[in-house]
Amino acid sequence: GLPPYDEGNIFARILRGEIPARKVLENDHALAFHDIAPQAPVHVLVIPKGPYVSVSDFSEKAAPEAVAGFWRSVAETARKLGLQDGGFRVLSNMGHHAGQEVPHFHVHVFGGAPLGPMLA
Ligand code: 5GP
């Protein structure tokens, strides 16, 4: 498992505008921005605006409209980046075994070129 939500985590600071980010999309439910250390030609992170530590936390606690709004924002982000035709990959690391670094739920969106079977 993971500890309770930490308001000082780096993505919370990006949401509050305390740290800059290259934004792709922002609405009531989500913020999408480019990863600082891209692992594919296009590598974007999409985060919900609420205080959720992980995909499990989000799925258990977020209101249905927030969950729908978040996933629609993931799809809209991919469309905005021109990834819809070529395809893309969505991934979320949860907890220790997955190597989750930032304790605010996020999904990675990878694309822009053939990605191979999996990213390490
Ligand atoms: P995780 O390992 O938690 O799934 O992924 C965290 C991701 O956040 C990593 O891909 C890392 O490069 C990215 N990241 C960490 N700090 C920052 C930051 O300050 N700005 C941005 N744009 N990305 C960050």
Residue range 98-107, pLDDT digits in tens: 999 999 999 9
Which atom of ligand 1 sits closest to the CA of residue 37? Answer: 12
Which protein residue has the closest C-alpha to ligand 1 atom 18? 36
pTM, to two decimals: 0.97
81-101 pLDDT per residue, tens: 999 999 999 999 999 999 999
- Strand segments (E) across 6-87: 23-26, 30-34, 42-48
Task: Report the domain count for the chain.
Answer: 1
CA of 35 to the centre of ligand 1 (A): 6
Q: Is residue 5 part of a domain?
A: no
Domain assignment present for residue 59? The answer is yes
Q: Considering the domain boundaries, does residue 1 fall inside one? A: no
Per-residue pLDDT averaged across 46-57, rounded? 98
**119 within domain boundaries:** no
Could you tell me if the ipTM is greater than 0.95?
yes
Mutation test residue for ligand 1: of 35, 55, 92, the one with most atoms within 8 Å of CB? 35
Phi-psi region at 48: left, alpha or beta (left = phi > 0; alpha = psi -120 to 50): beta
List the domain range (segments joined by +) for residue 93: 10-111
Q: What is the DSSP letter of 107?
A: E
CATH number at residue 80: 3.30.428.10
User: Which atom of ligand 1 is closest in space to residue 106's alpha carbon?
Assistant: 4
